[in-house]
Amino acid sequence: VEYYLLAVPWLKLSFVVPSPSSVLCAMALDGKIRIGFIVGKDNDAVEDPQYVGDASFLADMPAAYRTDPVSGEYGCPKAKGGMAHADTAIPWWIQKNHGDRCTIDIIRGDKDLTLARLKKNDVNFIIGYDQINTMFEGDWAARKELVGHALRECGNIWPTWEVQEFIYYKSRYMQACLDAGVPMAPTIFCFQGKRSPEQLLAEARRRGWRGFCLKLSFSAFSLGFLITSVEECTKDPTILKNYFAENADYPEFICQELITGFKDHWETRCFHWGYDFQYAICNKAAVVSESGAEIISAGRSDQPKQPREFVTAARAVAAQALKVLPKMFSKHGAEIGPVLNRIDIGCSTGAIHDKDYSWKEGQKTFFLNEMEYGGTNYFVRHLPFDCVPLWGEKYFQKAVEIMTKLPPGVRRGTKAAGVKKPATKAAATKRAATKKAATKRAATKKAATKRAA
């Protein structure tokens, strides 16, 4: 299979296509790139008094993409308080600023996300809704399968399905980070079908733990988060038994030794595009802050001062963690760099009791806490600058990159020769058999000719 370049002069773009007569995916007849954005946020408001940017570009956004400030449901007009959040505001900004080169499709994850809808677009980005959201929607098993099927099979979703699963299943990126030497709290993975309260408690005791916490893969907003101790669970076995029973449907639990100094320090959330740092949010989550409310420091004068030491150290750990992400490739074989990722870094100064760890008490140790991607909270209204144009431009340019970047060895011109899809094992076996048969026929013919002579 050879690849060609399809030029669209009025857009100043050339698209990689499998044949000179084909038009990539669902590209509209006008040559514009169709970009889908899967949305579903109700907690990252742009039309908020704290937002420092100019939100006037949202004036004509339909109620269909605005959420009710109380219920979080879509369909609330602006006149009644309906709010646009980061996941709808960013594509709306792109349509306003790059509408001559692209067509935007805003896809509500809870209502409109289907395989057919995704296939209508050239590129789709997850920006506010993914499989984790399905856990809040009635029949979780059915919704998880439906949404998973669409994201898995469409072939034009970013990040790719492989990267999504790498992050959905916390054990995958955590184990990869441990293997790569990224600092992380002592961890036990509890896999569905291979876990029990007794086994977990025995392992925690064997490793010397005292306090520990449990959290779930495929979860958000601290749901399924439990803090307990070996002593408490020994005295009252129902603590773990109830947790295991209540969360039996989850594929894995992550159990980590309790970092006693965690609540005393900032957790630093580092936002990256590709491998490039963009900004950091320092916060103390409601579940660990003394006030019971989340505390945020993003660099504004009306917030606590952002600690430079924490940001610097967190950036170093986050850069290490980003390296373990699976590579992504377009359907034409070109490597595509990561899209938005958020790496959360914690700080420990307390005692660690795990027999295999040597973190020093009283000394700051920065470690990976969690990894998230494009559907995460962008903290738009807390920033000292307007991040909507920042992300809007990056998402648009990424779509262009996906559609135009050439695979290795392809030269710009009318025909991009020399790039072929890797042969399958079956195809290689068939070619070998054909070659062998041809050689045998040639030998037979040669022998017959010799006898006739």
Q: Which of 142-146, 255-259, 311-315, 395-399 has the lowest mean pLDDT?
A: 142-146
Local confidence band at 260 (pLDDT 50, 70, 90 cut-offs): confident
Segment 31-57 shows an average pLDDT of 94
**Which residues have a Cβ under 8 Å from the Cβ of 423 and sit 6 or more positions away?**
431
* pLDDT for 289: 64
Q: Nearest Cα to 419, choosing from 328, 326, 331, 327?
A: 331
**Distance separating alpha carbons of residues 132 and 55, to the nearest angstrom:** 29
- Angle (CA) 351-353-356 rounded to 5° is 120
- Proportion of the chain above pLDDT 70, given as a percent: 83
Query: Which residue, 117, 69, 120, 296, is CA-closest to 129?
Result: 117
Q: What is the mean pLDDT of the segment spanning 284-301?
A: 81
- Secondary structure of residue 246 in the 3-state scheme: helix
Q: Indicate the pLDDT class of residue 22, thresholds 50, 70 and 90.
A: very low
Q: What is the DSSP letter of 112?
A: T
pLDDT tier at 291 (50, 70, 90 boundaries)?
A: confident
Decide if 265 contacts 247 (C-beta within 8 A): no
DSSP β-bridge partners for residue 296 = 283
> Residues 22-49: what's their mean pLDDT?
79
For residue 103, the number of C-alpha atoms closer than 13 Å in the C-beta half-sphere is 12
Higher pLDDT, 264 or 183: 183
Q: Which pTM value belongs to this model?
A: 0.84
Name the token pair of 194. Answer: 């291979």
Q: Kindly tell me if the per-residue pLDDT of 30 is higher than 90.
A: no
**In this predicted model, what pLDDT tens digit does every residue of 89-107 receive, in sequence order?**
999 999 999 999 999 999 9
CA distance 191 to 154: 28
φ, ψ dihedrals at 324, nearest 5°: -90, -5
The answer to whether residue 265 scores a pLDDT higher than 80 is yes
> Cβ(265)–Cβ(346) under 8 Å?
yes
| pLDDT of the residue at 434 | 52
DSSP state of 48: S
Tokens representing residue 42 in the block? 């109700």
Cα separation, 39 vs 130, whole angstroms = 8
**Around Cβ 221, how many Cβ atoms within 10 Å?**
12
Distance CA 94, CA 104 (A): 8
Q: How confident is the model at residue 293 (pLDDT cuts 50, 70, 90)?
A: confident
Mapped onto helix, strand or coil, the DSSP state of residue 334 is coil
Beta strand segments in 198-263, E? 211-216, 226-229, 252-257
Q: Is the pLDDT of residue 19 over 50?
A: no
Mean pLDDT of 150-178: 97
The three-class DSSP label of residue 18 is coil
Query: CA 412 to CA 128: how far, in whole Å?
Result: 36
For 442, counting Cβ atoms within 10 Å of its Cβ (0-12 exposed, 13-18 middle, 19+ buried), the class is exposed
